[in-house]
Structure 1
Amino acid sequence: MSERPHTIRYEAGVPVYRYSSDPAVPPISVMRFAHDGRPGYGTPHIHDFPVLLYVDRGTPGEQEHPGLARTGDVYVVAPGAVVDGRTVTMDSAVGVLFDPAALGDDTRAPWPAWRAHPLLFPFLHGTPSGLLRLYVPAQRQPLWENTIAAIEDELSTGRAGYRQAAAAHLTLLLVDIARLAVDVVGDLQRSNESVLADVFTVIEDRFTEQLSLRDVATTIGMTPAYLTTLVRRRTGRTVQDWILARRMSEARRLLTDTDLPINDIARRTGIPDPGYFTRMFRREHQMTPRIWRTRSDVA
């Protein structure tokens, strides 16, 4: 990855990291961790994107029992939740960080919960620590180690089709996560996340309008305060955050795929004031819409 995740803001003093907004940066990256003094990752922080953290725990008692199988853990890091790296042994840990857009056009957003992508259900686990710890049996460790190595190889060589190849390897890991977290996924499917489904359906249907939290709450029959608490507890973000995320997703699509003027794109994303649209886009992406369009043209 040519650009590391970087702090974009603080929430109650906790740094929030986001994935690179540069369209030239691949939507998947791999980071290997060790106790090497790297700042930030050993203290409480928030990721604004999904993370898989694989930890090779080695062979328990390998000096006394050299024949024992090695074991591992994988942590499913929920976007928007406060996590504390000090609770995880980071030696031999490797993180797979990704923008859900890597999974295809139906997930073109920083966190596309309204699409209810089945492979992303485990990231909605709601664990208070933000970390869902899953045990990786010895027989599945080669899958994790080899697949992560394959992603690294694709990203480092940059051969033709490397993004698609890296995404295919990521999909294998997400499929395995779904299998390891079958109870978590089952709970979500049984509960049907009906309220979230309703919220994101309203956002999807009406984000091009002047849509507010009160509009969403009224449509699904809840008070704004209760809806805010429920959505934040489950996703780590507010309804307003999701409305803006959907609008920015559409803005990026229109900037990349069309030649529409910025003013027209603003109106089509439910923000009739072009100046306010540009300010929101700059806040979310650290660049203006025009610069985004220029960089996506050369990516």
Structure 2
Amino acid sequence: MTEMARAVRLRAGVPVYRYRTDPATPPVSVLRFDPVQPPGHGRRHIHDFPVLMYVESAGPAGRPGLLGPVADGDAFVVAPGTVIDPTEVAGFAAGRGVFFDPAALGGEEQAPWSSWRAHPLLLPFLHRIPGGLLRLAVPPARRPVWAGTIDAIEAELAGREDGFRQAVLAQLTLLLVDVARLATDVVGDLRRSNEPLLAEVFDVIERRYTRPLSLRDVADSIGLTPGHLTTVVRQRTGRTVVDWITERRMAEARRLLSGTDLPVAEIARRVGLPDAGYFARVFRAGHGTSPRAWRQAMHG
């Protein structure tokens, strides 16, 4: 867990993990689940990014859990922001988890909320299933494809040859296409639900993140109270409006740090945080390092 994600805060005492965005972390990671030790080392936790769990072998009977005993070929689509208690998830003999940064699906320059709003392959992760787990059954004919695709991701991550980032994203896309096809009813419900509200929120952020922008500014633009807007956005995405404003600014900061020679102070101004010292503190809080060090690591 600590290799691809880092705990960034607590929510009601539960650690919230965010996918790392440092240059050394690939956009996709695979974790093999121990049949004895539950996922997450038995602790309640929250992923602030999409997770796909695939059961390759359920084993004998299986340990009953929140969704009942699992079966070979079960896939669990984990909604970001959901509290996951590993002790309530049914046990299985062999399985792997695929963790990924949603922003990477649109290219390094894309912001993650555009994926939440419009990316068809990520709509299944916006489900409202109680407990945060959408259970899908991979048909027997497709199970070798799933296993082989995850094998290919692991091989690319182990070798890290030129182009491996593009290769793992291509393999991930194949998995997400299958997920979207298996979750047709869920995706259809989401397309008919209140996603336009999120689209409005992200449109306001996109237009105004380079200038001073607060929760109240966004709420006023949409015609909702700040409290109500915060509740809706957190329920739908696992993050607050302020979190998304910061995410947009940090995504642009990473793009400018890696693709330009602009001074850090100028980058801070361009992302709506004219105080360079404050910008550096926000960047460090989200990335675990300073903007200058992040740039050096990327170029190195």
Q: Distance in 2 between matches of 1:93 and 1:153?
A: 17
Q: Distance in 2 between matches of 1:181 and 1:114?
A: 16
Q: Is the 8 A contact 1:107 1:115 kept in 2?
A: no
Comparing 39-48 with 263-272, greater Cα deviation is found at 39-48
Equivalent positions of 1:1-299 (< 5 A) are 3-37=3-37, 40-58=40-58, 71-88=72-89, 89-105=91-107, 108-109=110-111, 112-113=114-115, 115-191=117-193, 193-298=195-300
Q: Give the RMSD, CA atoms, in angstroms.
A: 2.2
User: How many equivalent pairs are there?
Assistant: 290
Comparing 107-116 with 199-208, greater Cα deviation is found at 107-116
Q: How far apart are residue 110 of structure 1 and its match?
A: 5.3
Counterpart residue type for residue 138 of structure 1: P
Counterpart residue type for residue 139 of structure 1: A
Structure 2: gaps of 5 or more residues: 62-70
Q: How far apart are residue 10 of structure 1 and its match?
A: 1.6
Q: How far apart are residue 103 of structure 1 and its match?
A: 1.5
For the residue of structure 1 that corresponds to 2:211, the secondary structure is coil
Counterpart residue type for residue 48 of structure 1: D
Q: Distance in 2 between matches of 1:162 and 1:228?
A: 38
Q: Distance in 2 between matches of 1:189 and 1:117?
A: 11
Q: Distance in 1 between matches of 2:241 and 2:292?
A: 27
Q: Is the 8 A contact 1:109 1:249 kept in 2?
A: yes
Instruction: State the TM-score, normalizing by the size of structure 1.
Output: 0.90
Counterpart residue type for residue 53 of structure 1: M
Q: Is the 8 A contact 1:74 1:136 kept in 2?
A: yes
Q: Which residue of 2 aligns with 1:67?
A: none
Q: How far apart are residue 84 of structure 1 and its match?
A: 1.7
Q: Distance in 1 between matches of 2:276 and 2:88?
A: 45
Q: Distance in 2 between matches of 1:212 and 1:261?
A: 25
- C-alpha deviations, 1:1-36, integer Å up to 9, x for none? 993423232211111122223212211111101145
Q: Distance in 2 between matches of 1:249 and 1:187?
A: 30
For the residue of structure 1 that corresponds to 2:130, the secondary structure is coil
Q: Which residue of 2 aligns with 1:64?
A: none
Which runs of structure 1 show a deviation greater than 6 angstroms over 4 or more consecutive aligned residues? Answer: none
Q: How far apart are residue 81 of structure 1 and its match?
A: 1.6
Instruction: State the TM-score, normalizing by the size of structure 2.
Output: 0.90
Q: Distance in 1 between matches of 2:236 and 2:103?
A: 21
Q: Is the 8 A contact 2:108 2:255 kept in 1?
A: no
Seen in structure 2, the aligned counterparts of structure 1 residues 106 and 4 have a Cα distance that, compared at 3 Å, is: closer
Q: How far apart are residue 167 of structure 1 and its match?
A: 0.8
Structure 1: gaps of 5 or more residues: 62-69
